[in-house]
């Protein structure tokens, strides 16, 4: 079972080309991360953006220009160990690739940012339903009307992920996810989608719609996709990100990420 | 009473020259911060150092090059609103000044980092003794044998502050200070000073010695002085810091900084 792999074992499968799919549910219990790569000249402004907006963009690791081995996964190579990457030129999507060695050079800085998979595992362990997992779908993500604090040339609206819960389960979810402060932490909103600029909860901008049952309210968490919108908001010559759902899998465990 | 001033009122006294002393205990309940200023060329590496070492160097705010007004204190001016600054050239201390307008230009980036005054207030509110406050002294600080994770040209040993507590009070102190994760959070060590390379607990490298009473153990927290050692570990043409104990006082309240 792929969920029983360690982070290192899953990365080995990815690097050798045996694994090309999404990483949701795989190597369960190991922290997965959003990836952003960009030229060093823009790296201070982007790191400043992340530090200024820690809920959507929690920094798990920053690598020096040209470095490929993150501290949170010794032996890993960020150029080859994600199943799928996206390449952007001057802020525009160019293509998806399975290896970025030809794009990466000694001037490239890599950022790894926290991902909500960590707290989804903790919610499941507490007996809370995670609808997107129940339905075998990607989580529903929405662009809100809240603006992140900009930094240098980078700006973005806050993107959120949504999981439907009863009010009582939402209370427990606040408690559970608060512990995961470097993987988005507590929700940013609960209830009325229109209050944060979401017109149609049935049509997420990213991911899939999920059922909201009678008696449930939508609960919204800050989402790492915000970092992708920010990174591509400036006309940089090159930006590389993971492809949605195809994350970097580290050696850290979810529990190691908690504040309490 | 100076402790009843707001952050803005204390800054106004500092800017007008009425206040030149330490800020410990003043504007009680408002978050105080360590200041580091440096040329933009080194700012990415320094911010990376802080992100990689969040316990000693928790980032409260980063200002863009040339900016002087932090988001955590609208109306403030970092060039004039600290009671005392230190100027370093090529990593060497040059002098103390009360205003840095002549050193600051459009290329200067400012960092504000969390300070333990926040959790000291919370400890007092919980009824825990804070010996340095009881004795009217500066907190005891020590250079440990633990190395921070370096970044670019920046490296530093972990510096810690120490407060003596009974074991039972140390347990409560762990609970209280864990909430303050952006102002150093939970302790990094308790008990044997030699275990972290401290040869003589009676001779702190910075600050003053305090009494450790019968039945008490020394409890150690990561300390913002680490950031000063890091910033001056590279031969930058100019680095400006606050003078020890003479912090920047923000408009944030301590409670706004907590995770729970």
Verify that A168 and A41 share a domain, yes or no: no
> Are residues B121 and B106 part of one domain?
no
Let me know whether B86 and B139 are in one domain.
no
For chain B positions 108-127, those within 8 Å of chain A (CB to CB) are 109
Same domain, A80 and A173: no
pLDDT for position A1:
66
B138-184 confidence digits (pLDDT tens): 899 999 999 999 999 999 999 999 999 999 999 999 999 998 888 88
For residue B53, give the CATH number of its domain: 3.40.1640.10
Q: How far apart are CA B260 and CA A209, in angstroms?
A: 31
pLDDT reported for residue A244: 87
Closest approach of A172 to chain B, Cα-based (Å): 14
In a domain, A21, yes or no: no
Q: How far is B62 from chain A (nearest CA, A)?
A: 7
pLDDT at residue B260, rounded to an integer? 67
Q: Do residue B131 and residue B211 come from a single domain?
A: yes
Which residues neighbour B74 within 8 Å (Cβ) at sequence distance 6 or greater? Answer: B251
CB < 8 Å from B in window 187-226 of A: none
Q: Do residues B178 and B241 share a domain?
A: no
Each residue's pLDDT tens digit in chain A (260 positions)? Answer: 688 899 999 999 999 999 999 898 899 999 999 999 999 999 999 999 999 999 999 999 999 999 999 999 999 999 999 999 999 999 999 999 999 999 999 999 999 999 988 889 889 999 999 999 999 898 999 999 999 999 999 999 999 999 999 999 999 999 999 988 888 899 999 999 999 999 999 999 999 999 999 999 999 999 999 999 999 999 999 999 999 889 999 999 988 888 76
Is A25 a member of any domain? no
Residue B207 has pLDDT above 70, yes or no: yes
Question: Is A24 domain-assigned?
Answer: no
Q: Are residues B109 and B152 in the same domain?
A: no
Name the minimum distance, in Å, from the CA of B199 to any CA of chain A: 31
Instruction: Put residue B228 in one of left, alpha, beta given phi > 0 → left and psi -120 to 50 → alpha.
Output: alpha
Tell me the three state secondary structure of residue A11. Answer: helix
- Give the pLDDT score at B27: 93
Residue A187 covered by a domain:
yes
Closest Cα in chain B, distance from residue A231 (Å): 16
**Residues of A with CB below 8 A from B62's CB?**
48, 51-52, 151
How many domains are contained in chain A?
2
Which residue of B41, B48, B70 is the best one to mutate when testing the A interface, meaning the one whose CB has the most A CBs within 10 A?
Answer: B48
Q: Are residues B163 and B189 in the same domain?
A: yes
User: What is the mean predicted confidence (pLDDT) over B37-65?
Assistant: 97
Beta-carbon separation of A62 and B71 below 8 A: no
Share of chain B above pLDDT 70, in %: 99
A40 and B44 within 8 Å at the Cβ level: the answer is yes
Q: Is residue A232 part of a domain?
A: yes
Residue A250 and residue A212 share a domain: no
What ipTM was estimated for this complex? 0.87
Domain that holds residue A60: 2-15+30-115+228-257
Q: Which of B44, B64, B181 sits opposite A43 (nearest CB)?
A: B44
| Residue A123 sits in the same domain as residue A194 | yes
**Domain shared by A185 and A202, yes or no:** yes
Q: Which of B47, B52, B260 sits opposite A44 (nearest CB)?
A: B47
Asked, for residue A68, whether it belongs to a domain, the answer is: yes
Contact B151 A64 (CB under 8 A): yes
Percent of chain B clearing pLDDT 90 (strictly above): 86
User: Do B81 and B127 share a structural domain?
Assistant: no
Does residue A23 lie within any of the structural domains?
A: no
Q: Give a yes or no: residue A166 inside a domain.
A: yes
3-state secondary structure chain B: CHHHCCHHHHHHHHHCCCCCCCCCCCCCCEEEEEEEEEEHHHHHHHHHHHHHCCCCCCEEEECCCCCCCCCCCCCCCCCCCCCCEEEEECCEEEEEECCCCCCCCCCEEEEEEECCHHHHHHHHHCCCCCHHHHCCCCCEEEEEEEECCCECCECCEEEEEEEEECHHHHHHHHHHHHCCCCCCCCCCEECCHHHHCCCCCCCCCECCCCCCCCCCEEEEEECCHHHHHHHCCCCCCCEEEECCCCCEEEEEEHHHHCCC
Instruction: Please tell me the predicted confidence (pLDDT) of residue B50.
Output: 98
For residue A174, the domain's CATH number is 3.30.2040.10
How far apart, in whole angstroms, are the C-alpha atoms of residue A17 and residue A234?
Answer: 32
């Amino acid at each position: 079972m792929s969920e029983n792999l360690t982070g290192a074992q899953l990365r080995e499968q990815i690097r050798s080309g045996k694994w090309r799919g999404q990483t949701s549910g795989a190597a369960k219990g190991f922290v997965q991360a959003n990836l952003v790569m960009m030229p060093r000249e823009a790296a201070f402004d982007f790191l400043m953006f992340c530090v200024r907006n820690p809920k959507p963009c929690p920094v798990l690791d920053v690598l020096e220009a040209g470095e490929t081995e993150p501290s949170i996964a010794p032996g890993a190579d960020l150029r080859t160990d994600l199943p799928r990457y996206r390449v952007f030129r001057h802020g525009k999507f160019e293509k998806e690739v399975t290896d970025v060695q030809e794009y990466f050079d000694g001037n490239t800085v890599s950022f790894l940012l926290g991902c909500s998979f960590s707290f989804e595992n903790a919610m499941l362990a507490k007996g809370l339903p995670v609808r997107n997992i129940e339905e075998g779908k990607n989580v529903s993500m929405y662009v809100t009307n809240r603006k992140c604090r900009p930094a240098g040339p980078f700006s973005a609206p806050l993107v959120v992920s949504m999981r439907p819960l009863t009010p009582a389960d939402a209370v427990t979810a606040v408690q559970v996810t608060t512990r995961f402060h470097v993987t988005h932490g507590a929700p940013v909103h609960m209830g009325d989608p229109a209050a944060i600029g979401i017109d149609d909860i049935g049509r997420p901008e990213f991911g899939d719609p999920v059922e909201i049952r009678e008696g449930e309210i939508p609960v919204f968490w800050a989402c790492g996709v915000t970092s992708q919108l920010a990174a591509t908001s400036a006309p940089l010559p090159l930006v590389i990100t993971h492809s949605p759902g195809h994350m970097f899998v580290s050696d850290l465990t979810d529990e190691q990420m908690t504040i309490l």
